[in-house]
Structure 1
Amino acid sequence: MAEQSLQGIKRVVDEGAHYEAQQMYKTVHHRYHTKGMLEDSYKILEEGAVLQLATGHLTCGVELGLMLIEAYEKDEVGLTEEACRRVDHMLDGLPEPPTCSSEGSIDGNCKGTEGSKVDEALRLLTAAIKWGHKQGAGAWERRLHDRAARFVWGWQGWSRLALVSAHYAQGSDWQGFASALATCARMGEPCEEDLFVARAVLQVLAWARVDQLADRVSSAQSLLTEYQEDRLLPETPLMHCMQLMIQALNKNSATLFQMLLNKYDASLSRDPSLSHLLQKVEQVFFGAQQTNGFGGMLGGLMQMLAGGAPCS
C-alpha cells in the first residue's frame, strides 16, 4: 500500500511541486500511523526524505527525516537493523562537500548559503545521534559521530575544528581525526601544534563512559599513533605529559595522574580548555568531584563546541 502512495507523490515531485509533495508525505504518514500501519508510515517518511534530498531540497528532506526519528522516539522503536538502515539511508542523501579530500575545506570559508546548508544537515545528524545514544547504540552511534565529523570537516574545515573534534572524539575514526589535526597544524603556528593534539587526546578521554574506560585509553593512544603516521609529534613537555597520562590511566593510577598534573602545570595552564577537560577526565576515571559547571557533556555539545575557533 505504501508503494502506491509513494508513486503518486513522486509524480508530484517530478512536476516540481515540492512543497505540495512535502504536505502529502506528512498527511499519508499520519494516516498510516493512525491506522497502526507503522512500518508503512516509516517507509513514507524515509522515501520522502531520500527523494527530497536527492532533488536538492535539503530543508524538506531534513524535516521528513526529523519526523521519522521523532516517530521512532514516540513509538519507542528499538535499535533494530531496519530502523538503523532507514536512518543511514536518509543520511546518505545529505549533500557531498564541494571538495571531498581528506584535507577538507582548508580555506574554512563556507559561509552564506553553504553555511546554512551545513547547519540544516546537522539538525538531522544531531537528531540521529541523540536517538542512537538513548538506545545505547554503541558502534552505530560512533559511526554517526564519525559521519558528522567528516561532513562538517569536508564543508567547513578548520573553521569548525572544535565541533569536528567533538564528534571525532566520540567516534572511532582515529585516522580521520589525526588527519584533520595534522592539516590544521600545518596551517597554524608551530608553537600551537601540541595544543591541538593535547585537546584532542583529552577530549577522547573526557567523553569516556564508565563501561568503556580501557577502550578510550586505547583510543587516545591510537589517535597519537595515527598522528605520528602523518606528522611527527612535537617534542614538548605537553606532549610528554599526554603520553605519560595515557600510561597513568592505563594503570588506573590516580596518584600518578596527580603527579603529572603538578609536574606539568605550566604546560597545562597554557590553555584554559585543558583544565576543563582534565577535570572531566579525572571525574570519569577516578570519581573526582567537579569544581565547575562542565557536566552534561552530550547535552552541551553544541553550546560547548559549535563555535570552533581557527587553528592559528
Structure 2
Amino acid sequence: MLDHEHDPGSALKRYMSQSKPAEARELMCSGALLFFSHGQQNSASDLSMLVLESLEKAEVEVADELLESLAKLFSLMDPNSPERVAFVSRALKWSSGGSGKLGHPRLHQLLALTLWKEQNYCESRYHFLHSSDGEGCANMLVEYATSRGFRSEVDMFVAQAVLQYVPFAVLPWLAWPPGARGWPLSRALSGLSRTFLCLKNKSSASVVFTTYTQKHPSIENGPPFVQPLLNFIWFLLLAVDGGKLTVFTVLCEQYQPSLRRDPMYNEYLDRIGQLFFGVPPKQTSSYGGLLGNLLSSLMGSSEQEGEDSQDDSSPIELD
C-alpha cells in the first residue's frame, strides 16, 4: 500500500515552502506517475494538479519538457473523470503564457495525439486545430472519416477542418456519441463559429487539405476532384492568396448547391470574406444572405476598383 493515499501532497507542500519548487515539482510528477502505475487515480490526479499549481505560483516559463510532462499526466488520467477536464483546462491556461492565447500549440498537439489514440476524434480534432500539426490533423481526419462517417461525407470532414480553426473561448466541448456512426456531421459541428481561415492560418489549412485528399482511400487523385465541395475548397485556398473579391464572389455563387449541404458554411465564408476580401460585416440587404452581402460589397467597391477590376475580370473555369 502506498503512503499518503489520502493526502499525497502534504510532505511535498512543505518541501515547496523551503524555496525548492523545481525539486518539489519533479518529485510530485514522479509521485503522480507512480500512483498512476498502481491504479490510484485520485492520488495521482491530486499530485498532477499540484504540479500545475507549482508552475503557476513560480511563474515558470513554458518549455517543451514541461509541456510533455503535462501531456504525459493527461494521457494517464481516466478519460471520463472530471479531474481530467479540470487539469487540461488549467494546463492550457498556464501554457498560454508562452505562445498562443488559446494554449500553447505544442501542448494542443500532444493532447490531440493522446485523444486520437483513445479514438476520441472530436476532441482530438479540436486540439489539432489549435496546433501547428496540419499533417497530423489530416491523418486523424482520414481515420475519423473512414471509421465514423458515411462515404458521402468524405469531403465534408476536410471542408470543416479547413474552414474551422475555432478559438478556445467560443468552442463548446463536443462529444461524439459512442457507436453513433454517421451521426450528422453538421449537427456535431453546428456550434462552431470561427474557422481555420478565420484565424488566418492558411498554411495549416493547405497542409490539412492536401494531405487529407492524398491519403483518403475514397478520394481520387486531384485537383480537380469528383466532389464539387473539394474543388470549392481548392479554389478558395488559391483565391485567398489573390484577395480578389470578384473571384471570391463567383466561387460562392457557383458552388451554392454544395455549400447548402451545411447551413454553417455561409457563415464561415462571410467571416472569411471579411478577413481576406474586404467584405464589410454582415448586414441586412435586399438580396439577403451571404451572396447578398457579397453583391452589395461588389457594387459598393466598383468605383474604387476602376481599371484594376477590368484587368481581373477574365473568366475562371469552375467545376
TM-score bin, normalised by smaller chain? 0.5 to 0.7
Question: Residue type of the partner of 2:226?
Answer: E
Partner-residue secondary structure (3-state), 1:19: coil
1:223 aligns with 2:208: yes
Question: Residue type of the partner of 1:136?
Answer: S
Give unpaired runs (5+ residues) of structure 2.
167-194, 284-319
Question: Residue type of the partner of 2:80?
Answer: S
Q: 1:70 aligns to what?
A: 53
| Counterpart among 97, 122, 134 of residue 134 in structure 1 | 97
1:165 aligns with 2:125: yes
1:16 aligns with 2:2: yes
Instruction: Give the structure with the higher percent helix.
Output: 1
Q: Give the superposition deviation at 1:254.
A: 4.4
| Counterpart among 143, 147, 168 of residue 110 in structure 2 | 147
Distance 2:258 2:204 in 1: 23
Taking structure 2 as the reference length, what is the TM-score of the superposition? 0.64
- How do 1:11-160 residues align onto structure 2 when only pairs under 5 Å count? 15-17=1-3, 19-20=5-6, 23-25=7-9, 27-79=10-62, 81=63, 84-95=64-75, 115-116=79-80, 120-136=83-99, 141-155=104-118, 157=119, 160=120
CA contact (8 A) 2:198 2:271 kept: no
Q: Give the superposition deviation at 1:130.
A: 2.6
Mean Cα displacement is larger for which, 223-232 or 58-67?
A: 58-67
- Over residues 74-124 of structure 1, what are the superposed CA-to-partner deviations in whole Å (9 max), with x where a residue is unaligned? 333222x4xx42342243255579xxxxxxxxxxxxxxxx6515x644543
Taking structure 1 as reference, are residues 207 and 218 closer, same or farther at Cα in structure 2, changes over 3 Å only? closer
- Over residues 208-253 of structure 1, what are the superposed CA-to-partner deviations in whole Å (9 max), with x where a residue is unaligned? 686xx3xx21211111221133122652221111111111222234
Identity %: 25
Taking structure 1 as the reference length, what is the TM-score of the superposition? 0.66
CA contact (8 A) 1:142 1:171 kept: yes
Q: 1:310 aligns to what?
A: none
Distance 2:135 2:33 in 1: 30
Q: 2:227 aligns to what?
A: 236
Distance 2:128 2:24 in 1: 33
Distance 1:259 1:145 in 2: 36
- Over residues 41-88 of structure 1, what are the superposed CA-to-partner deviations in whole Å (9 max), with x where a residue is unaligned? 323332232222233333432332223223323333222x4xx42342
CA contact (8 A) 2:165 2:198 kept: no
CA contact (8 A) 1:46 1:65 kept: yes
Question: Residue type of the partner of 2:66?
Answer: R
CA contact (8 A) 2:155 2:230 kept: yes
Q: Give the superposition deviation at 1:170.
A: 1.7
Question: Residue type of the partner of 2:29?
Answer: E
Q: Give the superposition deviation at 1:199.
A: 0.4
Give unpaired runs (5+ residues) of structure 1.
1-14, 98-113, 293-312
1:271 aligns with 2:262: yes
| Counterpart among 140, 145, 158 of residue 185 in structure 1 | 145
CA contact (8 A) 1:58 1:121 kept: no
Question: Residue type of the partner of 2:144?
Answer: C
Q: Give the superposition deviation at 1:203.
A: 1.7
Question: Residue type of the partner of 1:74?
Answer: K
Distance 1:69 1:269 in 2: 45
CA contact (8 A) 1:54 1:93 kept: no
Taking structure 1 as reference, are residues 64 and 182 closer, same or farther at Cα in structure 2, changes over 3 Å only? same
Mean Cα displacement is larger for which, 162-171 or 232-241?
A: 232-241
Taking structure 1 as reference, are residues 88 and 161 closer, same or farther at Cα in structure 2, changes over 3 Å only? closer
The structure with the largest alpha-carbon Rg is 2
Q: 1:308 aligns to what?
A: none
Question: Residue type of the partner of 1:219?
Answer: S
CA contact (8 A) 2:71 2:111 kept: no
Question: Residue type of the partner of 1:128?
Answer: A
- How do 1:237-256 residues align onto structure 2 when only pairs under 5 Å count? 237-256=228-247
RMSD: 3.3
